Amino acid sequence: MSGAQKFYITTAISYPNGVPHIGHAYEAIATDTLARFQRLDGREVYFLTGTDEHGQKMLQTARREGLTAQALADRNSARFREMVGVLGCSNDDFIRTSEPRHHASTKELWRRMVESGDIYKDSYAGWYSVRDEAYYQEGETELRPDGVRYGPQNTPVEWVEEESYFFRLSAYQERLLAHYEANPDFIGPDERRNEVVSFVKRGLKDLSMSRTTFDWGIPVPAGAGHVMYVWVDALTNYITGVGFPDETSPLWGFWPADLHIIGKDITRFHTVYWPAFLMSAGIPTPKRVFAHGFLFNRGEKMSKSVGNVIDPFSLVETYGLDQVRYFFLREVPFGQDGNYSHEAIVARVNADLANDLGNLAQRSLSMIAKNLEAKVPVLGALAPQDEAILAQADGLYEVARAAMNRQEIHVALGAIWTCVGDANRYFAGEAPWALKKTDPARMETVLYVTAEVIRQIAILAQPVMPASCNRLLDQLAVAADARSFAALGPAGRLVPGTPLPAPQGVFPRYVEETAA
Ligand code: ME8
C-alpha cells in the first residue's frame, strides 16, 4: 500500500462521563463507513477515535460517583472502546487523552503557541458552561424565569473569575476568514459553514486557555497551578494520534487530516479554535470538518431524565449490527437531524434489506442452485433490458464515490437502493422461472445479469454492512481479493461456470415478538 494516497479520518472523542449513547454510536458508524469506503477505493486509511477525559465535567461526575476522575475515565472509556468493537468499527487506534503520549503532544503544541507570542496571562471573568465545557459571551446567554442563566445550547452557565492564560484568537479573525474563503470545502455541510463565517465576522475575542480552580487536566508548562482548558487538549488528540510531536513518525505522514467527523454542536471548536491553534503552532490545518446532525428519539432530545436514552449495545442485539448501521445511514440524511423509533427501524430493515435485497439474492441464487448445478450461469446475447440494468450497476461507483467524497452517505445509499429496486423489477419482469421451460438459455442470461448486479451492490454496500455484504459475496464465490472497488464494473464480472456454495438468507425479516 505504500504508493496509495493517504486518508486520515477521525471522530470526535467522547466524554466518558457517562456510558455511550446512540449519538456516539451514530458518529462511530458513519465515520467507520466513510473510512471503509476510502479503503475499498484504494486509499491507505488511518482512522482514529477515542475518549476526551479531562475537564470539569468529568471531575464533577467523578465526585458525584465517589470516584477519582481517572477511575471514572478508566471505567467508562473501556465501555466506549467496547462500543466501537461491537459496532464493527475499523479504527486503527483508540486514543485516551489521559495517556502520557497525549500530555507530551499537548505540551509541545502549547510551547509552540507561546513561541509565536499568542499566549499571555491575564484574568478571566465571564460565563462558563460545564456541560458544554465552553465559555460564552454575555450576549449568548439568557436568564430564564427559573432563575438560571443558560447558554446557546440550553445548558446552565456559571460565572467564572480567575487568573488565566489567554490565546490571541482575536488576531486570527482575518486569517480564518481568508482560510474559509480560499478553502470552500473546509467546513461542511454549507449551512454550518455559513454559521461559522458569520460568527467569525462578528468578531473574535481572545480565548481563556487555562483554569486554576481544579487540577484534572494537562498542566500548563511553567504555569504553576494552571491546567489547560479541556478543549485545548481535546482537539490536540488528532495530532497526537498520528505521532505528534515526533514529526519523524511514519504516522505523521497522515497529517493534515482529510476529514474530522463531528456533531454540529461542536463546530465552533473545530473550525475556529482548532485551525487557529494550528496556525499559531505552524502546523498545517485539517482539510475538512464535516458536522453531522443530532438524533432524536421520536422527536425528543435524548436525556436521562426523559428516560429515552437508547443503549447502542441493546440496539445491536435487538436488530442486528448491519441492520442498525444501514438504518441510521439510510434514514437520516447525513448532516441533518434525524429521528428514530422502533417502527422506523423495523420498516427499513424489512423493506430494504429483507424484502428488496435479501429476497432478490435468495430467489435468484436458489434458482441457480436448483436449475444450474449451482454454477454461475452462462451469459447469452444481451437484450436491451439486460444492458440497461448492467449499465446502471456499472454506473453506481461514480455516483457513490462523488456522494461519499462529500459525506452524502444517504445519497450513495439512495442510488444503490434505486438499483436494487430496478433489479427487482427487472427480475420480476423477465420472470426467469417461466423461462425455465420455454427458453432455458434466456433464463441463464437473466440469472447471470441479476447475480452480477447483486455482486456490484454487495461490493458497494460493504462500507455500511461489512459482514452481510461479505456473506453475499461469499455466496457469489467472489474471491477475497476481488471485493474492492477496483473489481466494480466490467473488470470483475462473474465468471460463468464458477461453482457457488448453497444459498443462505443473509437479511432476516424482523418479526415482532408477540406476547404469549
Ligand atoms: O463533545 N446525536 O463529547 P461528547 C448525534 N468531548 N450526535 C451526538 C448526539 C446526538 N444526540 N449527542 C452527542 C464532546 N453527539 C467532546 C468532543 S472532540 C476534540 C471533543 C456527538 O461525548 C457530539 O456532537 O459530548 C460529538 O461529535 C460526539 O457525539 C461526542 O460528544
| ipTM > 0.85 (yes/no) | yes
User: Domain limits of the chain?
Assistant: 6-111+230-292, 119-211, 351-499
Supply the pTM of this predicted model.
0.96
3-state secondary structure (DSSP) of residue 291: strand
Distance 50 CA to ligand 1 centre (A): 12
Q: Is the CB of 52 under 6 A from ligand 1?
A: yes
Q: Is the CB of 265 under 6 A from ligand 1?
A: yes
pLDDT averaged per 10 residues, the chain (length 516)? 87 96 97 99 98 97 98 98 98 98 98 98 96 94 96 95 97 98 98 98 97 96 95 98 97 98 98 98 98 84 56 93 98 96 93 98 98 97 98 98 98 98 98 96 98 98 98 98 98 97 95 70
User: Matching CATH topology for 6-111+230-292 and 351-499?
Assistant: no
**Closest C-alpha among 473, 463, 478, 465 to residue 43:** 463
Strand partners, 207: 167
Distance 263 CA to ligand 1 centre (A): 6
- CATH class given for the domain over 119-211: mainly beta
Q: Is the CB of 26 under 6 A from ligand 1?
A: yes
Distance 465 CA to ligand 1 centre (A): 23
Nearest CA owner, ligand 1 atom 23: 263
Nearest CA owner, ligand 1 atom 22: 14
Would you state the torsion angle of the CA atoms of residues 321, 324, 325, 331, taken in this order, to the nearest 10 degrees?
170
Nearest CA owner, ligand 1 atom 30: 14
If one residue of 24, 262, 267, 304 were mutated to test the ligand 1 pocket, choosing by the most ligand atoms within 8 A of its CB, it would be 24
Q: How much is the pLDDT for 297?
A: 79
Give me the residue label for grid cell 509541545.
Answer: 108
Distance 339 CA to ligand 1 centre (A): 17
Q: How much is the pLDDT for 307?
A: 54
Residues in the chain: 516
DSSP summary character for residue 465: S
Q: Is the CB of 18 under 6 A from ligand 1?
A: no
CATH number of 6-111+230-292: 3.40.50.620
Distance 308 CA to ligand 1 centre (A): 17
Q: Is the CB of 15 under 6 A from ligand 1?
A: yes
Amino acid at 321: L
Nearest atom within ligand 1 for CA of residue 274: 19
Nearest atom within ligand 1 for CA of residue 302: 11
**Closest C-alpha among 431, 449, 443 to residue 393:** 449
Q: How much is the pLDDT for 302?
A: 52
Which DSSP string do the residues of 210-236 spell out, in sequence order?
A: EESS---SPBPTT-TT-EE-HHHHHHH
Architecture of 351-499 per CATH?
A: Orthogonal Bundle (1.10)
Residues 6+ apart with CB under 8 A from 48: 8, 9, 10, 11, 91, 92, 93, 94, 95, 237, 238, 241, 242
Distance CA 273, CA 200 (A): 11
Nearest CA owner, ligand 1 atom 26: 263
Q: How much is the pLDDT for 514?
A: 66
Q: How much is the pLDDT for 512?
A: 82
Q: Is the CB of 23 under 6 A from ligand 1?
A: yes
